[in-house]
Each structure stands twice: as structure tokens, then as C-alpha cells.
Amino acid sequence: MSQRQESEDIEMSQRRSDRSDEQTDKRPDGQTDGQPDEWAIAQVAPEESDERDGIAPHAGVSGPLAPLIEARLDLGRAARKGIPEVVLAESKRDDQLVAIVRTFLERNGYAIVSRARPGQLDLLARAFTDATLDVRASARAAALHAPGYQRRSSGGHIGVLTAGAGDIPVAEEARLVAEEMGCHVTTVYDVGVAGIHRLFGPLGELLASDVAALVVCAGMDGALPSVVAGLAHVPVIGCPTSIGYGAGGRGRAALLAMLQTCAPGLTAVNIDNGVGAGATAALIANQLAAARRLSEG
């Protein structure tokens, strides 16, 4: 490589570095932290760290807070996708969970937590006494709102149905996510095919309203989503649940039934994936609500 070419390469590299610095060192509050506004590394107090399984991510770091470098939080996901990031709690240490939720509350004003282990929701209530908690105990989920935060209303409307009472925890997970995305959610629970006469009245009322999409949670044989999709003029998101007996238990039969449906307009998510079902239905509803506002205004 010639000296001139080497010089040009160095100069080009420096310009790229300068541009990167300009893009990453500014925060909305005017402070600098070397991170893009769209993401952040959670901070955790070293004395709270859990060295279970030999993990000590904060060793050798001094000061009141240390970087929790395992967690690179997608703060801009809601603005980019219309779907917020949801914190899956059950696989996280308590100090990790608190640090992550703290970062979301400080930077976005809210945090959504799913699949909490026993005691974790109480831990969050103690850690964030000034936050408002919307707890869905059966779903092991919660939304936390910082003081002054107001959940927006998108104008979207979805329905969430279950075949049985055992499916309600997954349905409540879907409901929480959709509500945090600004949707109005109407729930119709325990209307499965074992007593299908219970379905027709509530479903008719839903379809006569401005509902834009339906989430239908079912275990056992997973038949209800196909029935609903055969009657509904809106998209139906089938969510199989891990309720059932024997060979088809734990949601396998329900998932296969939904994938094998003969009713067009039914899309299936994975077993017990209330987050995915609620987010998809809310995204559909919010897009339609936005289009309606645009046409009216």
C-alpha cells in the first residue's frame, strides 16, 4: 500500500468515527453517554449482584452503579415497530430485572414485564414505590408506569376470547400487551366448543362493533379459533395454550389444529405466546385506526 493511499484510508476512517460519535453521544436531555438514543445498557448496584452459577458481571467495577452489559435494551422499539419491548422476567436474576425495569422507567416512562417468577412482582413493587403497577396476577405479568406517565389511546379495538377458564392467563398476557399499545380490549372468556352456544351472542356483539382483530386462546383440541375464523370478517390470531391431556397435551394438539385449519383468516402463534398474539392484533387495530384518522382528517 502506498503512503498516499494509507493516508487517505486513515482520513476516511477518522471521518467515519467522527460521524459515529456525533450520532451516538447525544441524549434528549443534552447529556452524553456514548450510546444511541434507541438503546441503553442497564445499570445495577454491585452490592446487589447475584453470583449464582459463577456469574459475576460486575466484578471490579466501582461506583454506585455498574453496567449490566448482558442487557442492551431496545428503547426505540415502540417508535420503530409500534410494539414495545417486553421484559421476560422468569429467566433473569432479580438484580437484572430491577436494573432493566429501572432503565425503561427512567428513559421511556413505562416497562412491561412478563412471566414473573414467584415473588418478582412483589420485588418490583418494593423497588419502585413511586411507580404505578398494573398487575395481571394470573398471567404473571405487569406494566409499570413512572409518575406522570399516561398510557396513550390509539383508537384501536380488539377482542380476546378463550375456550376455557384455564386459558385466561395467556389471554390476560395478550390483553396487557394490547392495552399498553393503546388498544381498547374486549374480553370474552370460557366460550369453547364444549358449550358452543355460549359463543354466538358475545361474538356477534364483537363483530357488530368496531373490533379490528380477534385473539382466540384455546388448549385441548384447539378448535375454537377455527370456529371463530369461520364466522368472523376480521383477522383472527389463534393462540394455543398448554392445557390438555395425554399425547396432545401441553399445547401440541392445539397448535397443530390451528396450523391445519380449513378456515381462512386464521393465523397461529406459538404455544402460550400471549405477548405475540396481543401485539399482532394490536398492530392490526392500530394501523386501521391510524388510517381511519387520516381519511377523516
* Spatial separation of the C-alpha atoms in residues 223 and 243, rounded to whole Å: 13
pLDDT value of residue 69: 53
User: Alpha helix locations (H) across 32-117?
Assistant: 77-81, 94-108
Residue with cell 381519511: 295
The mean pLDDT values, 10 residues at a time, for the chain of 297 residues are 51 45 38 52 55 36 52 88 95 93 95 97 97 96 96 95 98 98 97 96 95 98 97 97 93 97 96 98 96 88
Provide the 3-class DSSP secondary structure of residue 295. helix
On whether the CB atoms of residues 283 and 83 are closer than 8 A, the answer is: yes
Identify the CATH class of 157-296.
Answer: alpha beta
On whether the CB atoms of residues 106 and 131 are closer than 8 A, the answer is: no
pLDDT value of residue 55: 33
- Determine the distance from the C-alpha atom of residue 210 to the mean position of all C-alpha atoms in its chain, rounded to a whole number: 24
Phi first, then psi, for residue 34 (nearest 5°) are 75, 15
pLDDT value of residue 51: 41
On whether the CB atoms of residues 179 and 135 are closer than 8 A, the answer is: no
Decide: residue 29, CB within 10 A, 0-12 exposed, 13-18 middle, 19+ buried: exposed
In the chain, the N- to C-terminal Cα span, in Å, equals: 61
Provide the 3-class DSSP secondary structure of residue 258. helix
- Determine the distance from the C-alpha atom of residue 276 to the mean position of all C-alpha atoms in its chain, rounded to a whole number: 7
pLDDT value of residue 275: 98
* Spatial separation of the C-alpha atoms in residues 69 and 9, rounded to whole Å: 32
On whether the CB atoms of residues 158 and 281 are closer than 8 A, the answer is: yes
On whether the CB atoms of residues 239 and 170 are closer than 8 A, the answer is: yes
pLDDT value of residue 97: 95
> Count of CB atoms within 10 A of residue 211's CB?
22
Q: What is the CA radius of gyration of the chain?
A: 23
User: Residue ranges of the domains in the chain?
Assistant: 36-145, 157-296
Provide the 3-class DSSP secondary structure of residue 160. strand
- Determine the distance from the C-alpha atom of residue 268 to the mean position of all C-alpha atoms in its chain, rounded to a whole number: 17
Q: Are strands 39-44 and 87-88 parallel, antiparallel or unpaired?
A: unpaired
